[in-house]
Structure 1
Amino acid sequence: MANEIPQTRVRRRRRRSRRIFRAFMVIGLLSFLILGGAAGYFAWKLSDVAADTNETLERGKKSDLRDEAVDPKQDNFSVLFMGLDDRDSTLEGRTDAMVLATFNKDNKSVKMVSIPRDTLVNIPGHGEDKITHSHAYGGTDLAVSTVEEMFDVPVDYYVKLNFNAFIEIINALDGIEVNVPFDFTEQDSTGKHDQIALKEGEQMLDGEEALAFVRMRKQDPRGDLGRGERQQEIIEALIRRSASISSIRNYDDVLQSIEKHMKMNFTFGNLISLHRYTGSIDNIDQMQLEGSDTYLGGVYYYQPAEQSRLNIAANLHEHLEMDEETADNSDDSANAEE
Structure 2
Amino acid sequence: MKKALIILAIVVSALILLVGGYALYLYVSFSSTADDMHTHIERDSSDFRSDDINFAARDPVSFLLLGLDSDRVDLGRADTMIVATVNPGDQSMKMVSIPRDTNTELVGRGWNDKINHAYYYGGEEMAIDTVEHFLDIPIDYIVTIDMDGFEEMVDAVGGITVDNRLDFEYGGFAFEQGELELSGEEALAYVRMRQDDPLGDSGRNERQQQVIEGVLREGANLTSVTSVGSILDAIGSNIQTNMGFQEMIDMHRYESSRHDLEQLSLSGEHSQLDGVYYYVVDEVEKERVTNTLREHLELEE
Q: TM-score, normalised on structure 1?
A: 0.75
Provide closer, same or farther for how the CA distance between residues 266 and 205 of structure 1 changes in structure 2, counting only shifts above 3 A.
same
Q: Gapped runs of 5+ residues in structure 1?
A: 1-23, 188-194, 325-338
CA distance in 2, matches of 1:303, 1:150: 12
% identical equivalent positions:
38
Match of 1:265 in 2: 242
Match of 2:226 in 1: 249
Match of 1:145 in 2: 129
Provide closer, same or farther for how the CA distance between residues 34 and 264 of structure 1 changes in structure 2, counting only shifts above 3 A.
closer
What does 1:201-240 correspond to in 2, within 5 Å? 202-216=179-193, 230-240=207-217
Q: Gapped runs of 5+ residues in structure 2?
A: 1-9
CA distance in 2, matches of 1:140, 1:201: 37
What does 1:111-122 correspond to in 2, within 5 Å? 111-122=94-105
Q: What displacement does 1:275 show? A: 3.8
Instruction: State the structure with bigger RCO (CA 8 A, min sep 6), 1 or 2.
Output: 2
Which is worse superposed, 90-99 or 213-222? 213-222
Q: What displacement does 1:173 show? A: 2.0
- Is 1:321 paired with 2:298? yes
Match of 1:176 in 2: 160
Amino acid paired to 1:208:
E
Deviation per residue, 1:105-125 (Å, 9 max, x gap): 211111122111111111123
Provide closer, same or farther for how the CA distance between residues 230 and 65 of structure 1 changes in structure 2, counting only shifts above 3 A.
closer
Contact 1:91 1:161 in 2 (8 A): no
Match of 2:76 in 1: 93
Contact 1:217 1:224 in 2 (8 A): yes
Contact 1:175 1:204 in 2 (8 A): yes
Counterpart pick for 1:128 among 80, 88, 112? 112
Match of 2:90 in 1: 107
Q: TM-score, normalised on structure 2?
A: 0.83
SS in 2 for 1:107: coil
CA RMSD of aligned residues (A): 3.1
CA distance in 1, matches of 2:176, 2:271: 35
- Is 1:29 paired with 2:3? no
Name which one, 1 or 2, has greater alpha-carbon Rg: 1
